[in-house]
Amino acid sequence: MAALSFADRFVRALPGDPSEANTTRQVLKSCYSRVQPTAVAKPELLVVVPEVAALLDLDPAITPELADVLAGNKVMPGMAPYAACYGGHQFGTWAGQLGDGRAITLGEVVNARGETWEMQLKGAGPTPYSRRADGRAVLRSSLRELVCSEAMFHLGVPTTRALSLALTGNPVQRDMLYDGNAKLEPGAVVCRVAPTFLRFGNFEIHTARDDKATLKQLMAFTLERFYPDHDVASFFEKVMQRTAWMVAEWMRVGFVHGVMNTDNMSILG
């Protein structure tokens, strides 16, 4: 991984949490909080998807160093890990601050073609946005995310990609059926890849707090990086079009989403 080229445009361009304490709290006037992944007991890399590795110019061969990085035990030079601050409407109701409660973006990889891909670990430990949760993920849900995201991509449906799946060696307690019978399950970390993980909720949180200064900075960054030929109005229109197209593509393959919450809706559609 040492050969990868990293950028940190998001954290350099936008205001961050002045506190580096990894404690649950309301994070104001900030787009992110710097946070390190929490080390795990026994990282074991189960799979690296070669096609996604190629997007990053990453050798997909499984090595101890790669396992350490993709399980959250090692941060490479050039990475600038953070958890994003955002809110969201859930089931039609404003839910306030949500944020990356168990996801940590390691950094932005710039490949040889000049493309930028964000690497994000899901299940890498608690962040200031974890609320009462542990910041971890289990093998069951992590495997589902890897398989489904790659399947959706190859079915022609817009989606994030999945680079890898790693076991942590740490059991995680979950109530799978929500019936009060929690059990220990194998812990896991999935590495997701996308041009950006910016979502509707990144903008909504600053709007809800009447933080116009941070909102304007975030919008200027977004237009420059992802919608360079658009102003705010045409950006809004384009995001609506892309989102509608994405939902139509879901339905084309027989999938109906019952939880269209804005904290999970990408600005890329």
55-110 pLDDT tens trace: 999 999 999 999 999 999 999 999 999 999 999 999 989 999 999 999 999 999 99
* Inter-residue contact 142 to 153 (CB < 8 Å): no
Residues with Cβ within 8 Å of residue 269, at least 6 apart in sequence: 158, 239, 241, 242, 243, 245, 246
Q: Which residues of the chain have pLDDT under 50?
A: none
pLDDT of residue 130: 97
What is the model's pLDDT at position 257? Answer: 77
Q: Which residues contact 72 (CB under 8 A, 6 or more apart)?
A: 37, 38, 39, 40, 43, 104, 121, 124, 125, 168, 189
Q: Contact 87/27 with Cβ under 8 angstroms?
A: no
Active site residue 263: yes
**Cβ contacts of 256-262, under 8 Å, gap ≥ 24:** 259/90, 259/91, 261/88, 261/89, 261/90, 261/91, 261/95, 262/88, 262/89, 262/90, 262/199, 262/200, 262/201, 262/204
CA-wise closest residue to 176 among 142, 146, 140: 140
Global pTM reads 0.95
165 neighbors 146 (Cβ within 8 angstroms):
yes
Q: How many CB atoms lie within 10 A of CB 251?
A: 12
| pLDDT score for 137 | 97
